[in-house]
Amino acid sequence: MTRPTPHVCTTEAEWHAARWEGIGASEAADLIEKPYSLWAEKVGLVERKQPNNVDRLEEGHLAEPMIAELVKRRCGVKRIRRSWEVLGLDSEPHDVVFSDAEHDWLRATPDYFIQAEDGSSAVCEMKFWDAFSRELWVNGPPLGVFLQVQQQMEVLQVPRALIAPYFGVGRFEPIWVDREPKWTALLRQRGSDLWARVAAGRRALEAGEDPHQFAPEAVSRLDLDALKRFKPREDTEVEIPQELAERFAAAHRARKEADDAYSDVQAELRKRMVEASATVATHSDEKLATLKTNARGTVTFRPAI
């Protein structure tokens, strides 16, 4: 087996340069879903996308050691190491980008390398998501995350990946994923075509010609069919245990009763406040309610405590 080539990036500028010269695993979803946007970015027609969630990215980076410890304790992992530790470097660089042995443009930057109890190797991709995003993982990892680890496994030639999403305290829900040849083949095929178009577009741009003659389709019909197979849109029926169905029904009834009670209390409070305001307006000497009027002339009723 031919090993991938590591690009040790000591600065952020070197890391951006390494990503510029290939398609990273985090861009795998764009390769399938938004090939034109990815092509335009790699050619240099548009500015590179900047993350709009810098704070969350920083929090996720700081949380990685904790998530790594959870992986060791709960996932049957014998050893977990960063890329630079696997390479035997003395100190941690900015990052390490790996390129595929056959296609240099095919690249990956795994969070961690792990060794399972049975001795097998895998990559580990950590995700720091808020609790409200958890519903996006109900049927497994989102497409972007799934394709990301498929490309990582393909570049690094490992059979499995551990996706380790952390949704908050008590919600660490790791998922093992196998490398699937149909998806890695699709990524190679689409990537080879796109990267050839990127190279042609860059040459055209340097020559003062229109690079759009080499632009890909927004998304191909073949890719749409592939995505449908990954996430079927048709309605399906799933059997669930009777006990779970009964608990769900009871919880649903309790929630409706609570919502109804809340609405009733709201309505009664509103009615009392209106009555109080009318009383105060008629008998201004009696302090039956506290009234506060804002600059727009609306009235907020606050009971005096």
Axis crossing angle, helix 181-206 with helix 143-156, rounded to the nearest 10: 90
| Cβ contact 299:277 at 8 Å | yes
Nearest to 225 by CA among 195, 186, 189, 197: 186
Per-state percent for the chain, helix, strand, coil, to nearest 5: 50, 15, 30
What is the residue whose two structure tokens read 């496994």? 153
DSSP for 189-228?
Answer: HHHHHHHHHHHHHHHHHHTTS-GGGGPPPSS-HHHHHHHH
Buried b (16+ CB within 10 A) or exposed e, 215-246: bbeeeeeebeeeeeeeeeeeeeeeeeeeeeee
What is the C-alpha separation between 222 and 224, in angstroms, rounded? Answer: 5
Q: What is the pLDDT of residue 45?
A: 92
| Cβ contact 130:167 at 8 Å | yes
pLDDT over 70 for what percent of the chain? 79
User: What is the number of alpha carbons within 13 Å of residue 181 lying toward its C-beta?
Assistant: 0
Fold of 5-230: Lambda Exonuclease; Chain A (3.90.320)
Domain boundaries, the chain: 5-230, 244-302
Q: What is the DSSP letter of 58?
A: H
Q: What is the pLDDT of residue 277?
A: 56
> 44, exposed or middle or buried, with CB in 10 Å at 0-12, 13-18, 19+?
middle
The two beta strands, 112-116 and 121-128, are antiparallel
Mean pLDDT of 106-121: 92
Nearest to 107 by CA among 97, 95, 96: 97
Say yes or no to pLDDT of 133 above 50. yes
Model confidence pLDDT, tens digit, residues 221-262: 555 555 555 555 444 555 667 777 778 778 878 887 887 788
Say yes or no to pLDDT of 282 above 60. no
What is the C-alpha separation between 109 and 261, in angstroms, rounded? Answer: 52
Q: What is the DSSP letter of 70?
A: H
User: What is the number of alpha carbons within 13 Å of residue 263 lying toward its C-beta?
Assistant: 6
- Higher-confidence residue of 51 and 136: namely 136
| Cβ contact 175:139 at 8 Å | no
Model confidence pLDDT, tens digit, residues 157-205: 999 999 999 988 788 999 999 999 999 999 999 999 999 999 999 999 9
Q: What is the pLDDT of residue 256?
A: 79
Q: How many CB atoms lie within 10 A of CB 73?
A: 10
Provide the whole-model pTM: 0.71
Would you state the structure tokens that stand for residue 132, as one six-digit string? 């409200």
- Higher-confidence residue of 285 and 214: namely 214
